[in-house]
Amino acid sequence: MSESAQKKEESGKYNRIIAAATKTFAEKGFFKSTVSDVARAAEVAEGTIYLYFKNKDDLLISIFESSMDMFIREMDQALEGITDVKERLRRLITLHLSLVEAHRELAQVLHIELRQSSMFMREYTGDKLKQYLKFIQDIIEAGQAEGVFNSNADPYVLRRTIFGALDEVGLKWVLSKRKGPLEQFSKQIADLFLNGLTQLKEK
């Protein structure tokens, strides 16, 4: 096998294990799942998993990291060529919730299982999360530089505020039994933040 073909197969196997772990953790819960459950779902030997991942926590954190990569990639594509900062922020908010809706099992793992990992909550340095937060921050800073968004607020606080709101609305949706479309919320949340940002002064 050529080196590139081998790399491709390896990356295919890596992604297959990530997908299988997502499904397994979403269905059984992180604590009740074992590495051998994941191996079975991925149709690989248990030892193969340890070629790519240190342990079950590492699998969980890798799901998180690959999903943040996917979020950033999708956002990059969706915002390509869009220069209006208000439209950029609106699309980011809409796409964030669309991705939650389109990937229910992943959303379940990110919103519920991930927070049950003590390693994730206490030790993870969160570089991938920071990348995504930076993506939000860049839009806010561009808007402030252009004078479209009010400059009174710290973009660092705003990125957390917006992320927190999207995260909570996503969590609530994941936990709800009857899952209506998230799209209807996107517009309301985007309107709220865009109005807040474009008129940000003391009331």
Window 118-137: residues binding a second copy (CB under 8 A): 118, 121-122
Instruction: Give the angle 62-65-70 at the CA atoms, nearest 5°.
Output: 125
Sign of the CA dihedral 51, 57, 60, 64? negative
Kindly state whether residue 179 participates in binding a second copy, applying the rule CB under 8 A: no
> Which one-letter DSSP state was computed for residue 115?
G
**For residues 69-108, which are near a second copy according to CB under 8 A?**
86
For residues 140 and 58, is the Cβ–Cβ distance under 8 A? no
CB of 98 to a second copy, least distance (A): 16
- The residue among 17 and 108 lying less far from a second copy, judged by its C-beta, is 108
Task: Indicate the residue type of 181.
Answer: P
Using CB under 8 A, which of the segments 37-45, 55-63, 66-74, 155-163 binds a second copy?
155-163
- Sequence-distant (6+) residues with CB within 8 A of 67 are 103, 106, 110
Q: Does 188 bind a second copy (CB under 8 A)?
A: yes
**Angle at the Cα of 168 (from 70 to 37), degrees rounded to 5?**
55
DSSP state of 182: S
**DSSP 8-class letter at 114:** G
Q: Which of 154, 179, 181, 183 binds a second copy (CB under 8 A)?
A: 154
User: Residue 5: helix, strand or coil by DSSP?
Assistant: helix
194 binds a second copy per the rule CB under 8 A: yes
Alpha-carbon span 95 to 78, nearest angstrom: 8
Q: Which is nearer to a second copy, 53 or 185 (CB)?
A: 185
With CB under 8 A as the contact rule, the residue among 7, 172, 180, 183 that binds a second copy is: 172
First to last CA, the chain: 67
* 13 touching a second copy, by CB under 8 A: no
Residue 169 is a binding residue for a second copy (CB under 8 A): yes
Is 153 a residue that touches a second copy (CB under 8 A)? yes
From the CB of residue 34, how many other CB atoms can be counted at a distance below 10 Å? Answer: 13
Comparison of 59 and 155: residue with beta carbon closer to a second copy: 155
- Residue 191 binds a second copy (CB under 8 A): yes
Closest approach, Cβ 39 to a second copy, in A, equals: 23
Instruction: Give the footprint of a second copy on this chain (CB under 8 A).
Output: 29, 31, 86, 112, 115-118, 121-122, 152-154, 157-158, 160-169, 171-172, 185, 188-189, 191-203
